[in-house]
Amino acid sequence: MVSLAYGRVYGVDDRGIWTRTTSETDGAAAFGADELLAQSERATSVVASAGRAVDANSTLYFRGQIDPSSASPQISGLTHEISGPYVSYGPLPRNRGTITTISSVDGKQAVATNEFSDSPESSPRILAHFGTRVLLTQEGSSDTEIRDLREPGVVVATLAGATGQGLWGDSVYWVTVTGKYGERTTVLNEWNYQTGRQRTLTLDSSIGACGASLDAVADGTAALSGGCDGPQDIVVNTENMTDIELLPNSSGYVHSLNGNQVAFDSVSGVDVATLPFGGTSAPRLLGVIESGELTGSESWSIDVDLSKPANAGQLTITAADGSTVATIPTPASPDGSIHGLVWDGAGAAPGSYSWALEVADADGQAAVDVAGKGPITGTVVVEAGAPLSFIDVPVGTQFYDEIMWLANEGVTTGWVLSNGDREFRPVQPVARDAMAAFLYRLAGSPAYEAPEASPFTDVPVDSQFYKEISWLAETGISTGWDMGDGTKQFRPLDSVARDAMAAFLYRYADVVLNEDVAGFETPGASPFVDVPVDSLYFRQIAWLADRGVSTGWVNDDGTAEFRDLEPVNRDAMAAFMYRLVNG
């Protein structure tokens, strides 16, 4: 068998589990070379969704590699299907109605069949699932229900008197057959559980006279196998429930549908064909896996799976008052999986925050939730917790107290390593964009709506610290470089020179701390031998020395140097900020 995903196909043969990359050339599918993922003569199936795949023995894969970040749930049974981060299990692989459990790939959420039951005595039959939505029937009932993994006891919608067989998005599909063999009437049925709309398509007698089975459903497509004089496999355009594509040389079974591609048995083996329809809906949320807790010592991260590829976008974190506290860029996804989005909670007070994923497909259609009704959103809670620690800042390190203060104030969280440890990188120079973030957080992350147009030509609106840099410009703490043509540059990745740092802190004291910096009397003689009185930022540097924020380097002859053009290291910046705030 084979299973299609965007940009990749997975399969099973007598060698084991394999995968190939796929592309489309002149309307036809093209494939890369086989990559053997697991050698197993007992391998029976593999199913894929977004960037994920799972075989019958619960081994999880991501983009063609065994996925070390997912924990195969310890659930008895074999794999049935996967939809985003949710995998269904049962005693018989891919046998409709025998699913016993649906679990998230991290093993933290597992819902057994009986949790969907209306009574302790009944045993529902799970027929299919799409993201968190589940298609099932109760024992002894001919009705079809839609429920949700997040609230298994709540019925989302009910279809009376019919048993669904396939589910994608809002639509449930099933086939009805009436009449005697050779003269049967075979009908493909669709029910939209959001709107209540029902539609049908009666199959041509050449396909449906002897009955037909529903093999697979996807975005705008449904595949059926029928025929009396030999197998006849077709794919129906479920957008209009009219157009039909006959699969050439088919031999009786459709393995997989994805977007506008179909994998089916043919007389020569398994073929993959490109359809003239399908895959046009907006990206749907299949599921979210969250990890970590914002307790002061741990970051929060999410993996998001969508039903189709998405362009680059952003994850926005919003406080209860509606102000944006963080904007995290998201990379373009070739298969719908957007993983490893991390928020460190820097500068955020304990409380509940909302997040929203803002991405769109190649046609500009915004991604929507699993119900197709609105944006993809959620909640993250920041809790007070243990103070941060950095493996590269041991006790006794120069500026240890100042660095720990900076971390405990939420001004910095450092870098999170793959094993969960954190580094501060104390002797690494501070980049100008990071300096903007430090000052914004030091000010308490004030409510601020960044402008739609950037104040600097080299700071796009989707830059990591765009909001913080814009705030710095609007408050006058930074003016950037005037390019002489009416535009300005911020040069976000340049290191902060010590003289510019003095100017930043001088203006910060004026704007945020409300200090009377204008009342400071510029001295006639420089406190530093390498800073002449006519230097660009002499006043600000002199103020910094007078304030006790910087002492510079003391020479053997008692004079001091400021080294104004050298970059500021991160440990020194911690010290400067500590002294500025605490005196």
Q: How far is CA 104 from the centre of its chain?
A: 15
DSSP at 189? E
- Is-contact 163 175, C-beta < 8 A? no
SS3 readout for 247-308: CCCEEEEEEEEECCEEEEEECCEEEEEECCCCCCCCCEEEEEEEECCECCCCCEEEEEEECC
- Is-contact 407 388, C-beta < 8 A? yes
How far, in Å, CA of 522 to CA of 526, rounded? 9
Q: For 393-417, how does the pLDDT look when each residue is reduced to its tens digit (9 = 90+)?
A: 998 899 999 999 998 888 888 888 8
136 backbone dihedrals φ, ψ, rounded to 5°: -155, 165
Of the CA atoms within 13 Å of residue 434, those in its CB half-sphere come to 18
Q: Is a pLDDT exceeding 70 seen at residue 61?
A: yes
Q: For 483-520, how does the pLDDT look when each residue is reduced to its tens digit (9 = 90+)?
A: 999 999 999 999 999 999 999 999 999 999 999 999 99
Q: Is a pLDDT exceeding 80 seen at residue 92?
A: no
Q: For 216-252, how does the pLDDT look when each residue is reduced to its tens digit (9 = 90+)?
A: 999 999 999 998 887 889 999 999 999 999 998 888 8
Which token pair is 531? 């800073």
DSSP at 436? H
Q: Check residue 292 and give its pLDDT.
A: 63
Other beta carbons within 10 angstroms of residue 179's beta carbon come to 12
Domains recognised in the chain with CATH numbers:
172-279 (2.40.128), 286-382 (2.60.40.2550), 400-582 (no CATH)
Hey, CA dihedral for 412, 416, 421, 427, is it positive or negative? negative
Q: Check residue 332 and give its pLDDT.
A: 95
Q: Check residue 238 and give its pLDDT.
A: 97
How far, in Å, CA of 185 to CA of 180, rounded? 9
Q: Is 480 left (phi over 0), alpha (psi -120 to 50) or beta?
A: left
- Is-contact 135 149, C-beta < 8 A? no
Helix 432-442 with 570-582: angle, nearest 10 deg? 30
Q: Check residue 83 and give its pLDDT.
A: 95
| Radius of gyration for the chain, computed over Cα atoms and rounded to the nearest angstrom | 30
DSSP at 498? H
Q: Check residue 40 and give its pLDDT.
A: 64
Q: Check residue 111 and give its pLDDT.
A: 84
> Whose structure tokens read 């991604």?
367
Q: pTM for the complete prediction?
A: 0.71
Closest CA to 80 of 119, 129, 34: 129
How far, in Å, CA of 447 to CA of 471, rounded? 10
Q: Is a pLDDT exceeding 60 seen at residue 74?
A: no
- Is-contact 488 457, C-beta < 8 A? yes
Q: Print burial letters for 483-510: b (CB count within 10 Å at least 16), e (below 16).
A: eeeeebebebeebbbbbbbbbbbbbbbb
- Is-contact 541 528, C-beta < 8 A? yes
Measure the N-to-C terminal CA separation of the chain; round to a whole number of Å: 70
Rounded mean pLDDT of the chain? 88
Q: Is a pLDDT exceeding 90 seen at residue 576?
A: yes
Mean pLDDT of the region 360-369? 96
